[in-house]
Amino acid sequence: MSRQSNLDAVLRWANAVRLERGLGEPLTEIPKGRILESCACPLARALGTDVAIGLFTADFTLPGEEDDIIELPEAASDFIRAFDAGAYPELIEAAA
């Protein structure tokens, strides 16, 4: 899968999760994030809630409720590995 195709697939997945869970309006692009920070990576920010992103799962932490863990699609797992390796420099948040 090409780099752009993977980004498109990840954006479609994130927007489907946002819609399903009532997490806000669809995004037009993947937001910037921090490398190797599961709660501040682009996918966590795209979902816009308390979520920790692993290589294969998204763990939603809901106050007062059990964690809700969903499996990531292959495109999202591929994106996370590539992002953490620096393959998407335009999505890396500048240091404060």
Residue 8 has pLDDT above 70, yes or no: yes
Chain mean pLDDT for the chain: 85
Domain ranges of the chain: 3-91
pLDDT value at position 20?
86
Q: In the predicted model, what is the mean pLDDT of residues 15-34?
A: 91
Residue 28 has pLDDT above 70, yes or no: yes
28 or 95, higher pLDDT: 28
**What is the C-alpha separation between 9 and 89, in angstroms, rounded?**
18
pLDDT value at position 64?
60
57-60: strand order across its sheet: 51-53, 57-60, 68-71
| Three-point CA angle 82, 85, 35, nearest 5° | 100
Residue 63 has pLDDT above 60, yes or no: no
Q: At what angle do helices 3-21 and 74-84 cross, to 10 degrees?
A: 120
